[in-house]
Structure 1
Amino acid sequence: MGKAGQQPARLQLLDEKKEIPATEAARTGRGRRLFLFAGVAAGLIVVALALGLGLGLGLKHHHRGSPAATSSPSPTPSPSPTNSTASESLQSWRRDTAEYNLSMDWDINAAPTTRVFNLTVSEIQAAPDGVMRTMLVFNNQFPGPLIRVNQGDRVLVNVTNQLTNATAVHWHGLYQNGTNWMDGTSGITQCPIPAGTSFLYNFTVENQFGTYWYHSHHSTQYTDGLVAPFIVHSPEEAAVQKDYDYDQIILLQDWYHDLSTALLPDYFASGNENAEPVPDNGLIQGTNVFDCSSYGDDSGYDCQNNSTQATFAITQGKRYRLRLINVGAFGEFQFSVDNHTLSVIEADSTLVEPVTINRLPINIAQRYSVILTANQTATNYWIRSWMNTYCFSDDNAPILNPDVKALLTYTNTTNEPTESADWASALDIVCEDLVTATLVPSGITPAPSADVAYKIDVAFQIGAYALDKAYINSTTWVPETIPTLNQAVAGLHTLNNSFSTSGLSTAFDQTSQFVIDVPNYQVVDLLINSLDEGAHPFHLHGHQFWVMASDSTGDFDWSTYKDLNTTNPMRRDTLTIDAYGWALIRFKADNPGMWAFHCHISWHMEAGLLMQFQTRDDIMKDWTIPEDVLGLCNG
């Protein structure tokens, strides 16, 4: 490819194509075209990468009893709520989600300060929907405590691990510029925190604000309850605060009645062909009801019909900002409120020009803010978060009721709605994002011309012993014992050239670590091509990216490259790649460190659907990783 906007000029083989048995090759439904584009001074050159086979999703669900808790931790104080309201009596393990009602008295103009939080990770027995199970939680309660700060604040979070296993905490969407080792990504930016020890996350939130969240980034732990909101305010918010009277966080989540570690063996069983566990229920604000009669007497579950749906009280004529966060593991939701239209104003911490909708698709790890105006008859209405079961090949009936509901009440009662009506518009039958073209950032940030571009293929491959693993090109990710960040910094210190060569890194084992090295500042285009019949919500750590183009079919037409919208394309950090679809994203590789790019379906990440970008070697070569971070690897 010549200058940005021109087509690729020539092909150059980068690494040899790996042999795929004919029986495996026959399973794929699409041809393999896997290319890596590497930049040169004159423009962009295309280079081919190795294969990955694309297979479909065959979904099954097997119920099993929950193992007993192995510890009885003492609670650790959580950050004080910013406001409090009267609430009915709660079980001790239920968090009073009144703290998710964000006080409008918060000073968004306050001078930067240091804010300290204490998190204890522990194991409890709890029943968010009436089914008792083992859970992993922050501060002995579910969901986790709110972290609320201002742009420019220094954040100190002391994490004490009371589990029998290691853990790590990732701050989803935060740049961690200059503190890559605080990103909380096990095997990449740190060794996990050993059982019985503590670790202090210490970072400053700069040059960003909006709706974020935090969760465990070790194996599939967050699936079991280690999730919580993280809100960053800024003086720039004043422009939108005039449009609402109240600010409310709402967590959406698919839910399993078994520990994720109990479900993994069946998922990875020989010959299972990617049968991800299907959720048993969905939660809004960490709660829901469940029909215990759907389980037989011999199910092994302790199920009580004593749980409730979340209730949100509103006042006639007021306007509410609802910060929606999908903290689930597998399911996309379609969010709506009966009789009330919604106005989208934020997507993944990017403020956008208001867009009026009836239903909002929100995939795993994505965040949207919508404004709801209380302008209907003063009664009760259903809030619906419909789990898109079309993305599963098994509906898990009769266990799963995908119509996950909460109550919107003008009367401050829990009466069943009588005038509530769902929207007549059909539910989506595919898992896909809100159409990107409808989202226009309210702050104009043009996309610069790309210096270098890479193309990857996302697929599942049946390998030895008929084990099904996820692949990015020829690599299925396995966490390193020594984090890749530690290895890269050490290699750069010793002037090992393999750690500072542009393109696919040869410094790591390419069977388990797909690392693209961008040694100096460049603007990167990444073309993601899905060879799988399931949709994948991909998240890039440490960056926001521009969504340059996407489609659910075919291939990117390079003849249109020069015509892409660069004036003000949508910016976000989590994007759904459609089944058999593709997307072209662009980002500035200006943030030094090792940054994961992965599917946020927890089962898929555990299956290996993750790659990394190593950026700004010119800065990393002078880094000294803090001793406490290095010390985690001695535990």
Structure 2
Amino acid sequence: MAPDTSAEKSAITGQTHSATSEGQGSPDAKDRGHQSNVSRGRRVYLAIVLVLVVVLALALGLGLGLGLKHSSRSNSDDSPGSPLPSSPQTPSEDSQASLSVPTWRSNVEDYTLDTASWDFHAPPTTREYKFTLSEVQLSPDGVFRTMIAINGRFPGPLIRANMGDRLIINVQNNLPNGTAIHWHGLFQNGTNWMDGTSGITQCPIPPNGGRFTYNFTLENQFGTYWYHTHYSTTNGDGPVGPLVIHSPDEVKMQKYYDVDQVVLLQDWYHDYSQALLPDYLASGSENGEPVPDNGLIQGTNYFNCSSLDSDSGYVCEQNSTRAVLTVEHGKRYRYRLINAGAFATFQFSIDNHPLSVIEADGTATEPLSVHRVDIAVAQRYSVVLNANQSSASNYWIRAQLNTFCFGDDNPVLDADARALITYTNSTAAPTDSVDWKDALDVECIGLNSSLLTPMFETEAPPATIMYALAANFQIGDYAIDRAYINGTSWVMSAVPTLNQAVAGLEAANSTFTTLGVSSAFSANQYVIDVPDVAIVDLLITNYDEGAHPFHLHGHSFWIVATSPDQYFDWSTYPALNTTLSNVLKRDTIMIDAFGWALVRFVADNPGLWALHCHISWHMESGLLMQFQTRNDIMRT
């Protein structure tokens, strides 16, 4: 049947071709009908013109900048504002940077801290945020995929506060699965249930509209932190963001820099993590962690669509761009680096510009001059760049993925993730940018923490108790490879272990007060019940052929000693268990393959606290245990 075009012609010309049944035959009624249709036609015509103008404006606004051609149309009714892909275009190596960004992307300006107007000495206040987590279709590197956005944006918003402030974060979970948000590196002293660890400190926030309010005070710490979901592997799908705590002591650090910015680093997959997980956990998959497809700096990077097979099933637009950081000649820039990824260790550098490290995981340090910084998953370093090079050229920022951490290759991965430093607000390709001649790592390692000296001196008293942990992978029944700590492979508990412990302590159940390895929990929960306010030495031995970044919740720890050797020489321990003067404290440490680390912390923080490898695949495989501390406070 041929389409009826009369309505379309009427809308354009403002003329009617038929009278309505009501009032037919009446001249007045026909006149009114004609005038009404003419008016309606004009309104439709003006609406069409207005839509065309808006579309053209959006196209210009989003398309200005080199190679950026995102559509503003929605991909589905469930993801308003998500761009629809257009046809792929030819890659352009000369158009990989842009000062224009999509409206859904947090950019350099969002992560630039205004230090001039910020009151570092302000009395404590309450700062409130609202987070809505939802699945959207976005393309951080040009490849469209389902990912998790916070308030429709990626990466997530910057949280910024002073030490002593109270944070209230209202979270609405519009995802199809439960979730929780962990505030990485925060002590949560007295608010263990706000740690955001699914199955340990809380039940997951229910899906499809469930809500939870995080409410805690930022005490006795300042520096660079971050947040991410702590439910299965979903933190690798986008729900991450920076959290910066200021203090009057930070003013003493500002003699080293003029501008303060956060730089977020991530490895990136073109598939949803939950789609990749079954193959990783499947029978016969040994050392089979999914290898990233790209690396992102500030939520973006170039990707060559032609590297994908024609039948790959991915929709890829050749419009992805690199982030641009503008500098002013003569100024010094603090870049707060955060590795918010799922797997990869980065080697961060900036061509032609030496860097000075002045912070590690919230600990201010004396400047350490480096060309490259190894930054493992979940670690943070602040580095200072002195913008003293020629403005005749732009320069590459490099966040090179250490492929020696991977058990396999990925043919589409360009391990040299890059962004642009410009003195002239230009996106031109660098003409005189030279990578450092220092050799890249040929093994999976982190920055040697012994090279860093804390700016504010601390003293670590001798340990009062010691625990030894062995981390390894074992192939069990049906050729399934799982991770173990002291023979236990962790599985998320349906009832949070904190809830179990509090109920048991209140009921005077003696199994919850027996010190040492606890028998109060199920067989897949390895929990050590620590004596009240013990000073704990923790020896973690890695019996795996891959390095592991271990993170301790609720505490920072002094790094007593580390070694790439397999076995710890126990005869040396008495000499190590002494008062330590001004050694580095941090919350995440990279333990070498077949190596060990001896760390020390004060168990004065009441609650259940996870210690786990921060590689998402490994934690989900079971590489997690817990400490139960301060029973005297928890039972009350």
- TM-score, structure 1 as length reference: 0.84
* 1:404 alignment partner in structure 2: 417
* 1:475 alignment partner in structure 2: 488
Superposed CA offset, 1:496-537 (max 9, x none): 011011100010123x10000014110001100111000000
* 1:605 alignment partner in structure 2: 619
Q: Secondary structure at the match of 1:242?
A: helix
**Contact residue 150 and residue 156 of structure 2 kept, 8 A:** yes
Question: CA–CA distance in 2 between the matches of 1:190 and 1:393?
Answer: 34
Question: CA–CA distance in 2 between the matches of 1:97 and 1:426?
Answer: 29
Amino acid in the other structure paired with 2:433:
S
Q: Secondary structure at the match of 2:511?
A: helix
Q: How does 1:115-126 map to 2 (within 5 A)?
A: 115-126=127-138
Question: CA–CA distance in 2 between the matches of 1:333 and 1:429?
Answer: 13
Select the residue among 90, 93, 103 that pairs with 2:104.
Answer: 93
1:151 paired with 2:163, answer yes
**Contact residue 123 and residue 163 of structure 1 kept, 8 A:** yes
Bigger CA drift: 428-437 or 453-462?
428-437
Question: CA–CA distance in 2 between the matches of 1:112 and 1:133?
Answer: 41
Q: Secondary structure at the match of 2:445?
A: coil
Structure 1 unaligned blocks of 5 or more: 1-67, 76-86, 623-635
**Contact residue 268 and residue 295 of structure 2 kept, 8 A:** yes
Superposed CA offset, 1:52-95 (max 9, x none): xxxxxxxxxxxxxxxx97933699xxxxxxxxxxx954323222
* 1:501 alignment partner in structure 2: 514
* 1:289 alignment partner in structure 2: 302
Question: CA–CA distance in 1 between the matches of 2:308 and 2:435?
Answer: 28
Select the residue among 176, 185, 195 that pairs with 2:197.
Answer: 185
Amino acid in the other structure paired with 1:471:
Y
Question: CA–CA distance in 1 between the matches of 2:114 and 2:484?
Answer: 45
Question: Who wins on radius of gyration, i.e. which is larger?
Answer: 2
Q: CA deviation at 1:128?
A: 0.2
Higher helix share: 2
Question: CA–CA distance in 1 between the matches of 2:484 and 2:223?
Answer: 32
Question: CA–CA distance in 2 between the matches of 1:621 and 1:432?
Answer: 42
Q: Are residues 392 and 96 of structure 1, via their aligned partners in 2, closer, same or farther at CA, if it must alter by over 3 Å?
A: closer
Q: CA deviation at 1:197?
A: 1.5
* 1:136 alignment partner in structure 2: 148
Bigger CA drift: 460-469 or 275-284?
460-469
Select the residue among 439, 456, 465 that pairs with 1:443.
Answer: 456
**Contact residue 557 and residue 601 of structure 2 kept, 8 A:** yes
**Contact residue 501 and residue 519 of structure 1 kept, 8 A:** no
Q: CA deviation at 1:553?
A: 1.2
Q: Are residues 594 and 167 of structure 1, via their aligned partners in 2, closer, same or farther at CA, if it must alter by over 3 Å?
A: same
1:392 paired with 2:399, answer no
1:537 paired with 2:544, answer no
Select the residue among 114, 138, 152 that pairs with 1:103.
Answer: 114
Select the residue among 439, 452, 476 that pairs with 1:426.
Answer: 439
Bigger CA drift: 566-575 or 182-191?
566-575
Structure 2 unaligned blocks of 5 or more: 1-74, 83-97
Q: Are residues 69 and 618 of structure 1, via their aligned partners in 2, closer, same or farther at CA, if it must alter by over 3 Å?
A: farther
* 1:413 alignment partner in structure 2: 426
* 1:169 alignment partner in structure 2: 181
Q: CA deviation at 1:171?
A: 0.1
Amino acid in the other structure paired with 1:190:
Q
Q: CA deviation at 1:598?
A: 0.1
Superposed CA offset, 1:13-32 (max 9, x none): xxxxxxxxxxxxxxxxxxxx
Question: CA–CA distance in 1 between the matches of 2:575 and 2:78?
Answer: 59
Amino acid in the other structure paired with 1:357:
V
* 2:79 alignment partner in structure 1: 72
1:309 paired with 2:325, answer no
1:579 paired with 2:590, answer no
Select the residue among 576, 581, 584 that pairs with 1:567.
Answer: 581
Q: Are residues 436 and 93 of structure 1, via their aligned partners in 2, closer, same or farther at CA, if it must alter by over 3 Å?
A: same
Q: Are residues 559 and 515 of structure 1, via their aligned partners in 2, closer, same or farther at CA, if it must alter by over 3 Å?
A: same
Question: CA–CA distance in 1 between the matches of 2:79 and 2:509?
Answer: 48
Question: CA–CA distance in 2 between the matches of 1:532 and 1:554?
Answer: 10
Amino acid in the other structure paired with 2:251:
A
Q: Are residues 434 and 400 of structure 1, via their aligned partners in 2, closer, same or farther at CA, if it must alter by over 3 Å?
A: same
Q: CA deviation at 1:377?
A: 1.1
* 2:338 alignment partner in structure 1: 325
Q: CA deviation at 1:456?
A: 0.9
Question: CA–CA distance in 1 between the matches of 2:76 and 2:519?
Answer: 44
Amino acid in the other structure paired with 2:185:
G
Q: Secondary structure at the match of 2:404?
A: helix
Amino acid in the other structure paired with 1:585:
V
Q: Secondary structure at the match of 1:262?
A: helix
**Contact residue 325 and residue 421 of structure 2 kept, 8 A:** yes
Q: CA deviation at 1:409?
A: 0.6
Question: CA–CA distance in 2 between the matches of 1:222 and 1:533?
Answer: 24
**Contact residue 543 and residue 566 of structure 2 kept, 8 A:** no
**Contact residue 185 and residue 553 of structure 2 kept, 8 A:** yes
Question: CA–CA distance in 1 between the matches of 2:479 and 2:355?
Answer: 47
Amino acid in the other structure paired with 2:137:
Q
Superposed CA offset, 1:159-198 (max 9, x none): 0011111110000000000000000000000000001111
* 1:197 alignment partner in structure 2: 210
1:229 paired with 2:242, answer yes
Q: Secondary structure at the match of 2:193?
A: helix
Amino acid in the other structure paired with 1:424:
K
**Contact residue 542 and residue 595 of structure 1 kept, 8 A:** yes
* 2:291 alignment partner in structure 1: 278
Q: Secondary structure at the match of 1:334?
A: strand
Question: CA–CA distance in 2 between the matches of 1:73 and 1:477?
Answer: 38
User: Identity rate of aligned residues, in percent?
Assistant: 61
* 1:589 alignment partner in structure 2: 603
**Contact residue 73 and residue 122 of structure 1 kept, 8 A:** no
Question: CA–CA distance in 2 between the matches of 1:90 and 1:376?
Answer: 27
Superposed CA offset, 1:354-409 (max 9, x none): 10000000000000001110111112110001000011132212x00000110011
Q: Are residues 340 and 88 of structure 1, via their aligned partners in 2, closer, same or farther at CA, if it must alter by over 3 Å?
A: closer
**Contact residue 171 and residue 184 of structure 1 kept, 8 A:** yes
Amino acid in the other structure paired with 1:103:
D
* 2:359 alignment partner in structure 1: 346
Aligned residues: 542
Select the residue among 308, 313, 316 that pairs with 1:300.
Answer: 313
Question: CA–CA distance in 1 between the matches of 2:102 and 2:397?
Answer: 24
Q: Are residues 96 and 310 of structure 1, via their aligned partners in 2, closer, same or farther at CA, if it must alter by over 3 Å?
A: closer
Amino acid in the other structure paired with 2:586:
R
Question: CA–CA distance in 2 between the matches of 1:126 and 1:219?
Answer: 21
- TM-score, structure 2 as length reference: 0.84
Amino acid in the other structure paired with 1:609:
L
* 1:383 alignment partner in structure 2: 397
Select the residue among 237, 242, 249 that pairs with 2:255.
Answer: 242
Amino acid in the other structure paired with 1:590:
D
Q: CA deviation at 1:245?
A: 0.5
Select the residue among 308, 323, 347 that pairs with 1:334.
Answer: 347
